[in-house]
Amino acid sequence: MQPRVLSRTDSLLARRAAAVPRGVFNVAPIFTEWAEGARLRDADGSNGKPGKKITAPTENSAIPFEARSSFFRATEGAVYVPILFEIDPESVSWDGDKTEVTVFGAVQNSEGQTLYPFEQPVELTKNADGLVIYDVPIEVAPGPYTFLFGVMDNQSSKVGTRVMNVEVPDLSVDKVTLSSILVYSEGRQVEAAAGVPGHAFQFGPIQFVPKAGDMFTFKQTDALGLFFFVYGFGLDAQGQPNVTGQYVFSVNGAAKGQTAVERLQATPEQAIGNAEIPLANFAPGNYKLQIKIVDQVKKETVTKDVEFVIQG
């Protein structure tokens, strides 16, 4: 599938409205010619006509941050991509326990055209791990993209930017495939709309609080939360899926144990994996979790690993 090209505003906005589910982040119907700090401008000022390509994007490390992408299947072959921003707390200004920043950016396709420009002022605090995080959702077709992201400290006007080359996978292939594994610390029921800034990791009424950092870190009093989807499995003679899952643990390179094989909740389109595993009986150490998924109809197996640390 070729990446979806946004180059003609009127027709593209109509296509976007028809193809993107309600709630997916769609803040500005413009195509960016110029970007500086937290501001974006199209080629015709503000009237939303097609803009030129952004050329020679650069990075600025004045505010260090990470922007981590996850991938979940959406409609009509598109991919839902929640972006988790992890902002260095030492690089932004604080008023008590709060900081005010603007998270901004856009996505550039392989032809250099820009889509999904966004600019979101937000007040943030540190999470339970002492990190400053925020999430923004986008939705694109599979293919190669350049993600142009930035964070501005609203008090000092200091800006950090990142340029990231990302290959968005095709999750509509006819083989057993896993989405990204969402590792979370908490899942809570909310009434807010899903698929908007600050709720990018909300699926249905459940908003997940993703774990952040280069290594997922837990305490023995925590539970290891896991959420993911399975796609591309077969159906039996009655048109029903039969997908099973199992979690296999190792610690410091040695086998730790495994859960029983369980059948996943599934529709003909997708299966859901969701577990909250108490860690009280897990000794401190470096762990690897293998998620083992078996399509009992097609007799296909797929695995994915998650590494995490339990602190003493």
Same fold, 9-168 and 215-311: yes
**Dist CA 240 CA 266 (whole Å):** 9
Which two tokens mark 40? 């974006």
Q: Report whether 218 contacts 310 (CB < 8 A).
A: yes
Question: Do residues 168 and 145 touch, judged by C-beta distance below 8 A?
Answer: yes
Q: Give 215-311's CATH code, choosing from 1.20.90.10, 3.20.20.80, 3.40.1280.10, 2.60.40.2550.
A: 2.60.40.2550
At 127, give phi and psi (nearest 5°): -85, -175
Give the pLDDT confidence score for residue 44 in this predicted structure. Answer: 39
Q: Which two tokens stand for residue 12?
A: 């593209």
CA distances from 134 to 2, 102, 163, 177, 196 (A): 30, 10, 18, 27, 11
Any idea where the domains of the chain sit in the sequence?
9-168, 215-311
pLDDT, one tens digit for every residue, the chain (312 residues) = 333 333 344 444 444 444 443 333 333 333 344 444 334 444 434 333 334 444 456 788 999 999 999 999 999 999 999 999 999 999 999 999 999 999 999 999 998 888 888 999 999 999 988 999 999 999 999 999 999 999 999 999 999 999 999 999 999 989 999 999 999 999 999 988 888 999 999 999 999 999 998 899 999 999 999 999 999 999 999 999 999 999 999 998 899 999 999 999 999 999 999 999 999 999 999 999 999 999 999 999 999 999 999 997
- CA dist 45 and 166 (Å) reads 29
Q: Does domain 9-168 have CATH number 2.40.50.140?
A: no
Contacts for 199 with CB less than 8 Å, ≥ 6 apart: 135, 137, 190, 192, 193, 207
User: Which residues are within 8 A (CB) of 276 and not within 5 positions of it... i.e. 6 or more apart?
Assistant: 187, 223, 224, 225, 226
